[in-house]
């Protein structure tokens, strides 16, 4: 089941158009979901396709949105950089532009599809059938370390650790301008944007979000920028990008929350280090991934 609250920007919209915007599906797919009784609004399942929504209405979808389009197929012809695996977990270094699980426009070329070809036991995990083993995410444009569960007990244990913030995730980011403080904690709730339902924003009605950063180096040329280490204390959608943009220091290359970059074609954001306890043995585990070539080369163009 997928659940979302209607943002103010979609107040007064018809349910079919709102579903298309909120879940990135077509209007015809939205109407099919409604006709099949898979949509609830404020707990009511008998939803008319002409229903007009109010801000804050709770929409529930009672089937995976993509499952009617296709079945998740293993992709033995694609590759992913595997850093470690055993019978319970697999740790990968996700490349930029690789999509973790199926979504609009990326139904088959996903990390999950590659892992299914190598670890078919993932398909037996009782969870969203299009996201087997997925316990946390990285955005499409973000590279770096991720862990996936390979069995039910690992999935449940890792999912709990993510929810209770047991994971330690350290990112490297290059941001626009100079951050004044060497160390900082950003505490600002994050919710879906009321102006653009596909974006997130700092919002008093959002969920608690905390991001710590440490300045590593400041640059003056070709423009002022700051290289920082970022540690997540919560895991909200687009959290790092939203928090830093809210400070006026958007991530270099971030065209969604900033101004983009003349060279880099994705946000300068990399999941460098992931620390967690093994879900079965409880052994502390640490994995790191160096900056990929595109980020390393872009960083080399900046100087103090």
The dihedral region occupied by 24, where left means phi > 0, alpha psi between -120 and 50, and beta the remainder, is: left
Q: Which two tokens stand for residue 240?
A: 């790092």
Instruction: Tell me the C-alpha distance between 111 and 189, whole Å.
Output: 30
What DSSP assignment string belongs to 203-222? Answer: -TTSB--EEEEEEEEEE-BS
190: which DSSP letter? E
271: which DSSP letter? E
Partners of 231 in beta bridges:
170, 212
Neighbours of 254 (CB within 10 A): 27
- Residue 121 · residue 147 · CB < 8 Å: no
Q: What is the CA radius of gyration of the chain?
A: 20
Q: Annotated catalytic, 161? A: no
Residues 16, 139, 254, 261: which is the catalytic one? 139
Residues recognised as catalytic: 139
């Amino acid at each position: 089941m997928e659940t979302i609250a209607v943002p103010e920007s979609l107040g007064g919209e018809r349910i079919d158009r709102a579903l298309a915007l909120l879940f990135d599906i077509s209007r015809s797919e939205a109407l099919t979901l409604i006709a099949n009784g898979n949509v609830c609004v404020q707990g009511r399942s008998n939803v008319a396709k002409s229903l007009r929504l109010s801000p804050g209405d709770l929409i529930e979808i009672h089937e995976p949105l993509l499952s009617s389009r296709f079945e998740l197929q293993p992709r033995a012809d694609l590759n992913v950089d595997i850093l470690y695996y055993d019978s319970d977990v697999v740790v990968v270094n996700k490349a930029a532009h690789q999509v973790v699980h199926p979504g609009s426009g990326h139904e088959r070329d996903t990390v999950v599809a590659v892992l299914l070809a190598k670890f078919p036991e993932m398909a037996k995990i009782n969870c969203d059938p299009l996201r087997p083993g997925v316990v946390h995410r990285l955005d499409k444009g973000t590279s770096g370390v991720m862990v996936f569960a390979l069995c039910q007990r690992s999935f449940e244990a890792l999912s709990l650790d993510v929810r209770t913030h047991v994971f330690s995730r350290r990112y490297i980011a290059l941001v626009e301008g100079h951050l004044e403080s060497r160390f900082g904690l950003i505490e600002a709730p994050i919710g879906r944007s009321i102006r653009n339902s596909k974006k997130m924003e700092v919002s008093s009605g959002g969920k608690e979000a905390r991001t710590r950063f440490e300045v590593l180096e400041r640059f003056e040329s070709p423009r002022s920028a700051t290289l920082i280490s970022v540690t997540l204390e919560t895991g909200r959608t687009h959290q790092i990008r939203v928090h830093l943009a809210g400070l006026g220091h958007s991530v270099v290359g971030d065209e969604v929350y900033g101004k983009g970059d003349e060279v880099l074609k994705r946000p300068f954001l990399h999941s460098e280090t992931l620390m967690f306890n093994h879900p079965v043995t409880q052994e502390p585990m640490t994995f790191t991934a160096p900056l990929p070539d595109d980020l390393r080369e872009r960083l080399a163009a900046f100087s103090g």
